[in-house]
Amino acid sequence: MGYTRVSTHHQSLDQQDDELRAAGVPADRIYADRMTGTSTKEQRPGLTALLDYAREGDVIVVVGIDRLGRNAAEVMLTIRDLGQRGIVLRSLREGIDTGNATGRMIAGIFASLAELELELQHERRAAAAAARKARGLPVGRPPKLRPDQVALAGRMKAAGEPVDVIAAALGVSRATTYRAVNLHAAGDGL
């Protein structure tokens, strides 16, 4: 089995397809995605289908390990998950083959580096949030609705309007509308 990915719809998968077929991967077993660099693993239907199909003992071939994700941490987590499932990964460009001891060692080092990077990212986010909080700045996503809109949602609900109508009037989802109505009822959105 093989996997190919390009970051934009303007790029071609042909080179990757050719390299995988030259490495012995049947054309009907090549899974592909054309996604932007901001997509996550869950937003890649080709990779998801491949991972669902792959079983212990299978070999997945990629042209380069960077095709497995948009950043090092995501790539390494995918490699680690494959290893835990007993699936061998072969990367043509890097010469990595997790079917042998050297390849598993290299993949293990990459996985350790990925875990370190994830921990550092978490620490940086926590430090940034603490700094914003200390300065009295908002932390997290800004609210979808202003306080006056929350109050309007509460009044509309109290007047008997259905949630769908309120959501459409405010241009938000039903879930956001329910949160706004609950905030208003609790007196937090005034």
Classified as helix, coil or strand, 2 is strand
CA distance 88 to 60: 6
Of the candidates 7, 91, 112, 173, the residue annotated as catalytic is 7
d(CA 128, CA 115): 20
Q: Is 7 a catalytic residue?
A: yes
Per-residue tokens: 107 = 């993949």
Which two structure tokens, joined as six digits, stand for 50? 């491949």
Adjacent-strand bridge partners of 91: 62, 96
Q: How far is it, in rounded angstroms, from Cα 118 to Cα 139?
A: 20
**Residues designated catalytic:** 7
